[in-house]
Structure 1
Amino acid sequence: MITMIQKRDGREIHFTPEKITRAIYLAANSVASQEGKEADYTTAELLTTKVIHYLESHFDATPNVEDIQDAVIKVLIEEGHAKTAEAYILYRDQRSRIRNSKSRIMKAIGQITYADADGEDGDVKRENANIDGNTAMGTMLQYGSAISKEFCMNEVMNPLHAKMHENGDIHIHDMDFMNMGTLTCCQIDLNKLFNGGFSTGHGHLREPQDILSYGALAAIAIQSDQNDQHGGQSIPSFDYYLAPGVRKTFKREYIRNLSRALEVLVDDEIDLKDSLENQIKAWGMQPEIDMKQEYLEKQRTFLHDTYHIGNKQMDLIEEFAYRNALKDTDKKTFQSMEGFIHNLNTMHSRAGAQVPFSSINFGTDTSSEGRMVSKNLLLAQEAGLGNGETPIFPILIFKVKEGVNYNEGDPNYDLFKLSCRVSAKRLFPNFSFLDAPFNLQYYKEGDPDTEATYMGCRTRVIGNCCGPEIVTGRGNLSFTSINLPRLGLKHGVALNGKFDEAGFFQELDEKIDSVIQQLLERMAIQGQKKVKNFPFLMGQGVWLGADKLNWNDTLEEVIKQGTLTVGFIGLAECLKALIGKHHGESDEAQALGLKIIGHMRDRMDEAMNQYHLNFSLIATPAEGLSGRFTRIDKKLYGVVPGVTDREYYTNSFHVPVYYHIGAFEKIEREAPYHAFTNAGHISYVEVDGDPCNNLEAFEAIVRCMKEAGVGYGSINHPVDRDPVCGYSGVIEGHVCPKCGRDEYKSEMKFEKIRRITGYLVGTLDRFNDSKAAEERDRVKHA
């Protein structure tokens, strides 16, 4: 007679037949209710008796829970209750998923709680280099993320998609935000916010009236918008947006300095400021950096008639006012840009757990005011933070365009030269290239909304089958990445001795089909959210079309302006698995790589036409993902040379970081993939030493990217800092070249700033294990 059973954790407890009866009754009742009936509890009791008889005849020892459940299913089927058995199996699976989910949550909470981000077991706390996992708020954010992921996996998502994610076939990015319905990112139109001011939800901010306020409100806008989204924020045309602030400041400083000069010449107490401003309104024009002759003539007439100022004195007054106004405006613009950068490296978003992910595109406004913004933004980046630290945010992106700043004689050529100098010292700006054919097709001269812009992570949003093809007010809705190396292993020479091309593309299409459906299901969740759920992004009309909605309106129509994106990782490892070589070492592999990525882009274009939504392809910015896929595949397939023998998969379509190749050749190899990846891309070149010592070579690499057809690129190089003396540059060995301090003889170590993705730059101790391994493997491109 059975009196005890064994639980899954090994504990033995008293056997209670009534639990079997209740489980059978619930399964039977779920079947009966579909026909409007109710199950018979007595039948459930009789079936329980048969289950007990079966257990007693087959088990001498104490049966475990799984044994009992198997016995229930067997008796139900043999007694003619197949539908009840099926319902019981579904109930059993559901309970198993809930149980496994609870187990995973508790394990994750334990890891987050007890791991030290600085220790060997702290990789779980370094998944995102922009979050300090050791802080209370960082830990709380990770708690919420772990629980939300499990909820989405078990209660929100299609089980097929959840299984594909868990198995490592795909990776659903930012899954923890799925049930909240947040969008990924947005390109913010600051003009729209500045015109009349805006609200952050805790008070209204008036329209800014000088460049200092413009810079402060720009930072607040970025911070506020990030609190409504799970991705980053981009300013598409920073110089254009802040130029009016420079113009307002110059006007104020010009009138102030004009008043100062007049006070020397006129004995009477005068209030030139008010009287001149009234005249300016009447004239319909105002003093500007590029002073118009028509304005000066009106001003001279007014000053002569009102204060009897002669021509010689007028020349002195105007020269004094203009010179000092220009100097004061330039100084205030630098202070504004300095404050802007300092704010974005210190202000917090998302419950105080991280600084805002922010990107600033600039460099094409040729007005004097716009040029002053760009110049001082670069100079503030070059100056660094308070103790000489390299700013992590915002990611500066200089837009390169022939006829604007690329060639000598272009109006902003000096800014291009300055951007190279600053990037050589501070890693930023990165460079986007408006003349790349896939960017140039949207470009309309004089319309910054048509200048293709990027977010630091590489995201690009401009093409639009649902509305205007502009950058402002739009962003990515969500994206999911496909594990290409796994497909290579399943269909390639590495494990099978031959390349099954048809099988590879067939399974790739199956994965793409599943991801398309997953993206559509997630979009349906997002579309059911309301304006009030995103009080800044939607409530302040930042997102394109949101200003036409009411507080309780849903978002189905306006989010169509965004992109639905499929990504990929590890093209190099995929090619190694398929044919034994990657695209950096073989023309055959390059041709196959372009065929694979070109096919993926074709599938996105087909989906766009089928659903009339902005499906697109991104070269995935892999941080934690590169290590996650590799760990899973290594367990499945073992260590496969060139594929799973490292701790990471190669970033998107990049030539592997460990492969020795010249800088120009690397650029030429990667450039064709930019045309296929319309949702975003980036190419890096890794150089050794201090590029400030060879700016000509640095600029040559940037020019090579432009001429090769790269859309977005950057140059990686070491940026070291001694936190004691503040030296910033390259520190060879363990002795500071400025103060002579020996790092080995001090607890205060040198800071080693490195880039791990387009967005994320930081000290090596903040990287997760896979990215730290990738950084160690990087070779310097000649």
Structure 2
Amino acid sequence: MVQINLMLGGNDLLTVSKKNGEQVPWSQERIIAAANKASRRVSDKNNRLTDTQTEDLIYFIDKEVDRLPNREVISTLEIHDLVLDALQKVNLAVYMEYKAYRKYKEKYIEAFDSAKDFAEKVVYNGDKENANRDSTLNSTKQTLIAEGLMRELMLKFELEPEWAKAHQEGWIHIHDLAQRYSSQTNCCLFDMGNVLAGGFELNGSRYIEPKSVQAAWAVAGDVTLSASSNQYGGFTLAEIDGILAPYAEKTYNKQIETISEQLKDFDVPHSTIEEMAYKNTMREIEQGYQGFETKLNTISNSLAQVPFVTVTFGLKTDFWAKKISKTILKIRENGMGENGLTAIFPKLVFLSRKDVNGAPHSPNYDLYLAAIECSRTRLYPDYLSLDAGNLGEVYERCGKPVSPMGCRAYLSPFYKPDTGEEVYVGRNNVGAVTLNLPKMAIEAAGNVKKFTDLIAEYSEMVFAIHEDYYERAGKIKGSSNPLNFCEGGSWMSVGYDEPIAPILKASTASLGYVGLEEVCQSLFGGSLIHQQEFALEIVSFLKKLVDDAREETGYLFALYSSPAESLIYRFNEINREQYGLIENVTSRDYATNSFHLHVTEDVSVPEKINFEAPFHAIATGGRISYCEFAYGVDSNVLKHAIDFAMSKGMYYGVNVVSATCNKCLHHGDFDDYCPKCDSEDITSVTRVCGYLSFGKVKGDSRYNLGKQAEIRDRVKHTVGYGEALAEKNKELTSK
């Protein structure tokens, strides 16, 4: 390229103002360099800039600059426009490359600016999108800022433009965008028993199988912290009582051997040795679980949050499994730490089967009653019916309980290709995308056909997003989460350097939805409670879309009643901004979660259960129902409520406010101040959506504004004494 020596009509005195405010002299060399860079990107060398075209380029720019009256300063953006206009005249191929590159740079700038704004907000004001992250900590801020950048990169460069547009306009919400950028998997049922058995390798070291129950609890905690750091969403250890029971047996036998050796010279009855061994083993179980629970509530994983861990139990009837279950309930009921706080993690789920633990003469009925006592004041456990509904059918079919992946996600059936065995433990979800049903209802303006057309249109987009992500995540190597993909946490293993695509054949991908209450208010001017038939039709329509897509593509798509913590606030803010205040549709600070009756509905416990139960049978993923009770609710009332929910095949949770005054240690249902000593130094635990979280920590709320408003609006559903509730159950059942 020849040196261009044109004198630009006095432009040597012109100053250029850069984006950062710096002012530099005009430089024709910079213009030529930028044009040549674009020219080199043209694939056909014959269409690149010639020397003559470069001279023409400078000539046209000079001519346009001369037309600018009395200008001493010109911005870089103005120069870019001048270059574009000139290139369009001299070389169309280079013009297209320059334009595309400039747009790409503008997207980078926009992404960086958005990430920078978010970073400043996190640094100075924190972030309340996730109630179980303490954004006052530097480590959390660092993670949040990194995630903010990854979200922007995903939106600007990785997603199809129409997908990103739909997300930003609020038609859909692509959950966990930051984690999608690094191609992580979502909620899982981690096969802890398989990882522990025989030992495992981590960070180049080989770990032997634990030799005692206390060691097993400790290793399980470490494995949980490590493996959960390399995914996002819930992390479930299914049937933890069965996993730990063999290690309790090992401990007991070792104790018998050790004590017998120690007392061999004394005339001690074997029954005494057995009693001593039993006490020592129980001490190990208790200390082991206390350490496990403390670890999960106090140590953040690399995602700057305590891991979202769920443990399920209640079906195992052998001696040590029952002792492990009782210990979990006892320690949870006693509270955590010096102040006896309600523990957040692990989430406890009691697996309910009438012939195992739900009837008075069943072998684990004592566990069921102990679980109810724990729920009265500590909210957990939740209760999952294996007697009816789709999970009852699975249990009848193959004898396997299906635990929730985290708070409320469930797996579709999957059969091992080689044996035909039905598999649940060791599987995961790859992500969720949720539909903004209230927005679609508002757009439909009373036209139900238009409403369902919008659902179908955006559901098709969701399936395309999932298909793209299956392919993207499938390329990730086993080493990205070695404990899960290589060391036995998954239903099958791959090598450290092998892609995980074969594992993902068993993974689900979720189509979520929120806001049936606001849909009914928008379309019919009335609440969901009066439109159950229509709401069931909509959920059935969604289910058919999911089933059809699964049949067409072979991917395990699932319908998901989304556990929307911050999303109910985000969607409502978008809808309000776009459509204004609409009474009972956008007028509150939140949308209603999935198929739930609105939290202000003054209905009885059995009426709420009876209304929501049919939705569980259709939307089998993400379904859970709650009733609001007073702290320390009567055991009979609670038992009749749980019995009724279990008979309906539901997944059921108890909602109370479990608060502790850090000054006088008073426990109860209060939020703003202690009724005993008036202190505002309160730590309260409430349910966010599927998980528990801190409503307040030392008087400060961890929730976003929408969730705070939703919790304030909740009404109690208690119905008198147990006998009155039982009568109501019979009345509704007879109908």
C-alpha distance in 2, partners of 1:560/1:776?
A: 43
1:682 Cα deviation (Å)? 1.4
Corresponding position: 1:394 with 2:365: no
Normalising by structure 2, we get a TM-score of 0.88
1:631 Cα deviation (Å)? 1.9
Task: Give the equivalent residue in structure 1 for 2:356.
Answer: 404
Closer, same or farther: CA 259–83 of 1 in aligned 2, 3 Å = closer
1:763 Cα deviation (Å)? 3.1
Q: Which amino acid aligns with 2:702?
A: R
Corresponding position: 1:572 with 2:517: yes
Task: Give the equivalent residue in structure 1 for 2:507.
Answer: 562
Closer, same or farther: CA 83–578 of 1 in aligned 2, 3 Å = farther
- 2:706 aligned counterpart, secondary structure: helix
Task: Give the equivalent residue in structure 2 for 1:545.
Answer: 492
1:237 Cα deviation (Å)? 0.9
Task: Give the equivalent residue in structure 1 for 2:469.
Answer: 522
C-alpha distance in 1, partners of 2:602/2:52?
A: 76
Q: Which amino acid aligns with 2:669?
A: V
Corresponding position: 1:780 with 2:731: no
C-alpha distance in 1, partners of 2:431/2:674?
A: 46
Match of 2:253 among 244, 251, 254: 251
C-alpha distance in 2, partners of 1:552/1:51?
A: 54
Task: Give the equivalent residue in structure 2 for 1:371.
Answer: 322
- 1:330 aligned counterpart, secondary structure: helix
1:751-777 superposed Cα distances (whole Å, 9 cap, x missing partner): 222111212421331112221121122
1:91 Cα deviation (Å)? 3.4
Q: Is the 8 A contact 1:485 1:643 kept in 2?
A: yes
Q: Is the 8 A contact 1:720 1:730 kept in 2?
A: yes
C-alpha distance in 1, partners of 2:22/2:272?
A: 90
Q: Which amino acid aligns with 1:565?
A: S
Task: Give the equivalent residue in structure 2 for 1:472.
Answer: 425
Corresponding position: 1:415 with 2:415: no
Match of 1:639 among 581, 590, 595: 581
1:669-705 superposed Cα distances (whole Å, 9 cap, x missing partner): 2222222223322111122x32x34111111221222
- 1:761 aligned counterpart, secondary structure: strand
Write out aligned runs for 1:490-501 (5 A): 490-492=443-445, 499-501=446-448
Closer, same or farther: CA 262–13 of 1 in aligned 2, 3 Å = closer
Q: Which amino acid aligns with 2:509?
A: L
Corresponding position: 1:361 with 2:312: yes
Closer, same or farther: CA 404–82 of 1 in aligned 2, 3 Å = same
C-alpha distance in 1, partners of 2:709/2:673?
A: 21
Closer, same or farther: CA 52–629 of 1 in aligned 2, 3 Å = farther
Corresponding position: 1:670 with 2:623: no
Match of 2:689 among 749, 757, 761: 757
Corresponding position: 1:511 with 2:521: no
Match of 1:428 among 354, 358, 380: 380
Task: Give the equivalent residue in structure 1 for 2:229.
Answer: 227
1:421-453 superposed Cα distances (whole Å, 9 cap, x missing partner): 101111111111112321022115895xx2011
Task: Give the equivalent residue in structure 1 for 2:288.
Answer: 336
C-alpha distance in 2, partners of 1:742/1:190?
A: 45
Task: Give the equivalent residue in structure 2 for 1:726.
Answer: 665
Match of 1:179 among 158, 178, 181: 181
Corresponding position: 1:627 with 2:569: yes
1:259-310 superposed Cα distances (whole Å, 9 cap, x missing partner): 5675333xxxxxxxxxxxxxxxxxxxxxxxxxxxxxxxxxxxxxxxxxxxxx
Q: Is the 8 A contact 1:562 1:614 kept in 2?
A: yes
1:159-200 superposed Cα distances (whole Å, 9 cap, x missing partner): 322222222222221111223221112212222122112233
1:345 Cα deviation (Å)? 1.6
Q: Is the 8 A contact 2:656 2:669 kept in 1?
A: no
Match of 2:49 among 34, 39, 46: 39
Q: Which amino acid aligns with 1:380?
A: I
Q: Which amino acid aligns with 1:778?
A: R
Q: Is the 8 A contact 1:55 1:68 kept in 2?
A: no
Q: Is the 8 A contact 1:212 1:335 kept in 2?
A: yes
1:616 Cα deviation (Å)? 0.8
Corresponding position: 1:604 with 2:546: yes
Closer, same or farther: CA 501–188 of 1 in aligned 2, 3 Å = same
1:207-242 superposed Cα distances (whole Å, 9 cap, x missing partner): 222221222222122112112212221011111111
C-alpha distance in 2, partners of 1:514/1:733?
A: 44
- 1:171 aligned counterpart, secondary structure: strand
C-alpha distance in 1, partners of 2:392/2:372?
A: 22
1:118-171 superposed Cα distances (whole Å, 9 cap, x missing partner): xxxxxxx22212211111111111121112212222333223222222222222
1:70 Cα deviation (Å)? 5.8
Task: Give the equivalent residue in structure 2 for 1:742.
Answer: 678
Task: Give the equivalent residue in structure 1 for 2:483.
Answer: 536
Write out aligned runs for 1:294-373 (5 A): 317-350=269-302, 353-373=304-324
C-alpha distance in 2, partners of 1:528/1:397?
A: 34
Closer, same or farther: CA 7–577 of 1 in aligned 2, 3 Å = farther
Corresponding position: 1:96 with 2:122: no
Closer, same or farther: CA 82–593 of 1 in aligned 2, 3 Å = farther
1:408 Cα deviation (Å)? 1.0
Q: Is the 8 A contact 2:53 2:91 kept in 1?
A: no
Q: Is the 8 A contact 1:444 1:451 kept in 2?
A: no
- 2:557 aligned counterpart, secondary structure: strand
- 1:241 aligned counterpart, secondary structure: helix
Between the aligned residues of both structures, percent identity stands at: 27
Name the stretch that deviates more: 458-467 or 751-760: 458-467
Q: Which amino acid aligns with 1:763?
A: G
C-alpha distance in 1, partners of 2:576/2:28?
A: 44
- 1:442 aligned counterpart, secondary structure: helix
Q: Which amino acid aligns with 2:638?
A: F
C-alpha distance in 1, partners of 2:397/2:335?
A: 33
C-alpha distance in 2, partners of 1:208/1:331?
A: 17
Normalising by structure 1, we get a TM-score of 0.83
Q: Is the 8 A contact 1:601 1:617 kept in 2?
A: yes
1:80 Cα deviation (Å)? 8.7
Closer, same or farther: CA 361–718 of 1 in aligned 2, 3 Å = same
C-alpha distance in 2, partners of 1:107/1:157?
A: 22
Q: Which amino acid aligns with 1:535?
A: P
C-alpha distance in 1, partners of 2:616/2:245?
A: 32
Task: Give the equivalent residue in structure 2 for 1:706.
Answer: 646
C-alpha distance in 2, partners of 1:487/1:465?
A: 37
Write out aligned runs for 1:457-468 (5 A): 457-464=407-414, 467=417, 468=421
C-alpha distance in 2, partners of 1:731/1:774?
A: 16
- 1:557 aligned counterpart, secondary structure: helix
Q: Flag structure 1 segments of 5+ consecutive residues without an equivalent.
A: 118-124, 266-315, 493-498
TM-align CA RMSD: 2.9
Closer, same or farther: CA 685–92 of 1 in aligned 2, 3 Å = same
Q: Flag structure 2 segments of 5+ consecutive residues without an equivalent.
A: 1-8, 719-735
1:736-758 superposed Cα distances (whole Å, 9 cap, x missing partner): 54xxx3316xxxx1222211121
Closer, same or farther: CA 261–28 of 1 in aligned 2, 3 Å = closer
Task: Give the equivalent residue in structure 2 for 1:715.
Answer: 654
